[in-house]
Structures are given as structure tokens and as C-alpha cells.
Amino acid sequence: MKRYAWILALPLMMGAKSQGCAVPSTDPAPDVAGTWGVSYADTMEIDVTIGGAVYSKSLPSNGGLFSITHNGQPFMFNIDCSRPDVICPSEVWPNSVSIDQHDPAYPHRMWVQIPTQSCSGQLVQPQPSQCGQGTLNPDCKPVCTGNVTTSSEDAFGVIAEDGSSFDLLLGAGVATNGTNCALLGLSFAHATLDNSGSAAVPAEWSSQSMSDGTVETAYAGGCVWVSDPNMSQDQQALVLAATVEIKNGFSANKTSSAIAPDGGARD
């Protein structure tokens, strides 16, 4: 998401996360600007929704194979974090991140550079025969004619009005081209902010660590399905219509503060 593109994301954030109401706030917010070291939980939590049922699994932080049994039929999925088109949570919110609060008039707004998926070609309307129920694109969303690539862009986040937490919008996905996986809908990072000071003295109100953090990404089930040639068309349609949500817990500590233009630490 490009810097200052928060206006486009605002309705989505307000609908999905409670911090949206703090976007226009001019009240003081804790200083989160600087470099942060992030530590992840050893496992990822996977929720697969298929045929209206939800199945939960735990995987190592780098992913792996897992199976579920739905209506007596086993289905195999492969969360392979090494694939360039599958972005696992620890890749979205890396081990070291830099946070910026570059709009002093609105201190509750924050930006951080994260890996973001984009279409290297054009987004076009799919042929009616290539979308709809039983395909990777059931809602007939625009399809990427090139590759789904990953680059670094600014993501927009919002600090809660009371300074106790933040939510970060990690970006919207593009429709799969049938080969590449694409982030499904919106993905988020959320964490509690552990602060020193208070709003009573804004210059001394600062976040030193993050706790109870969660990063979530989501994909269409067909992207991470290990094909079984013995499946019926109905079974394949179930998997193509499934969703796979990946969650990874994290904590973080501020390793250095942002540097003000005059060379000193930012207040």
C-alpha cells in the first residue's frame, strides 16, 4: 500500500478492526516510531473452512503438510512458506521492522514497510467459464494476467485512542491467475502496546514493547491444496471454495528510537 493511501483503506479498517475511529484523532498517542525486533511463536495456527465447517491445526512456523477429514473424506493441504507466492505471517511482519509516525498532526497513524503482493501484469475480468462456483475465483474478481509478485511497500496502521494497542492493515489480495496464490481479502497484524508514561505528558509517552501480537494471512483453499487424482468433481469444488487462515503469535521490543531531523531522538 502506497504512503498516504490510507484514505482508500479507511472504510475497510473501520469495518474490520475497532481502531478505525482513531484515524482522524489529533489527541496524543504513544511514540512507537523506531526499529523493533520481533520474536515469533514456534507454531502457526491454521483454520481451514470447507463446506461451512472449520478445522484447526498447528504447524511449525515454516509451514508443512497437514490433512483434515471432511464428511469422511481426507483432504491434504501444503502450507509451504518457501514458495514466493505464499506469504506466511512471519514474512509479512519480519523479524525487524521500522515504524514511522511521520504525520505529527495525526499521531495515531503509523506506517511500516512490509512485503506486499501485487500483480505484475494487468487485472482483467475473467471469462465466465473460468470463474464462479467450483473455481479458484468463485466471486469472479479481476484476474492477474501476469505473475503475482512480492515487493516492499508502506502498510498503514492505527494506534488505539487510549494507546493500548494497534492494528495494521497488511494489504488486499488480487485474484489468483490459477497458478499463483494471492492473499485473500484483507490480512492484519494486531498487538498490545506496553508503554511508559501517559497521555498527560505526551513527550514522555512511549511504547517499549509489544505483547499478545497476532499476524493473520488468508488464502483460497485451492492455492494450498495437494491434488488427489481420485477426488470427485464435487470434492475438488469443495476445496476450491475453501479458505485457509494462517495465524502466528508474536512479541516485540523497540531496539532503537526514530531519529528526528535535527539528529536527536524524536520526542
Residue 49 — very low, low, confident or very high, per pLDDT cuts 50/70/90?
A: very high
128 Cβ contact list (under 8 Å, min separation 6) = 140
Q: Give SS3 for 224.
A: helix
253 pLDDT above the threshold of 90: yes
Instruction: Please report the pLDDT score of residue 57 as a whole number.
Output: 95
**Which range is most confident: 16-30, 36-50, 142-156?**
36-50
Range with the poorest average pLDDT among 51-65, 80-94, 100-114: 80-94
pLDDT of residue 262: 41
The larger pLDDT score, comparing residue 56 to residue 133, is at 56
- 180: pLDDT confidence band, cut at 50, 70 and 90? low
Could you tell me the pLDDT band of residue 228, with boundaries at 50, 70 and 90?
confident
Confidence at residue 263, expressed as pLDDT on a 0 to 100 scale: 43
More confident residue, 153 or 37: 37
Q: In this predicted structure, what is the pLDDT of residue 174?
A: 61
* Nearest one of 166, 214, 218, 174 to 13, comparing CA atoms: 166
Output the pLDDT for position 173. Answer: 61
pLDDT value of residue 171: 62
pLDDT at res. 206:
96
pLDDT tier for residue 254 given thresholds of 50, 70 and 90? very high
The reported pLDDT for the residue numbered 231 is 85
Taking CA atoms, 44 is separated from 58, 61, 63, 231, in Å, by 6, 5, 7, 28
Instruction: Supply the pTM of this predicted model.
Output: 0.73
pLDDT at position 59 over 80: yes
Q: Would you state the pLDDT for residue 223?
A: 83
Helix (H) or strand (E) holding 234: helix 233-240
Mean pLDDT calculated for residue range 139-145: 80
Q: Is the pLDDT of residue 267 over 50?
A: no
- pLDDT-derived band at 5, boundaries 50, 70, 90: very low
Percent of the chain residues past pLDDT 70, beyond the cut: 82
Q: Are residues 217 and 246 in contact, defined by beta-carbon separation less than 8 angstroms?
A: yes
Helix (H) or strand (E) holding 131: none
Cβ count within 10 A of residue 49: 15
Looking at per-residue pLDDT, the higher value among 226 and 59 belongs to: 59
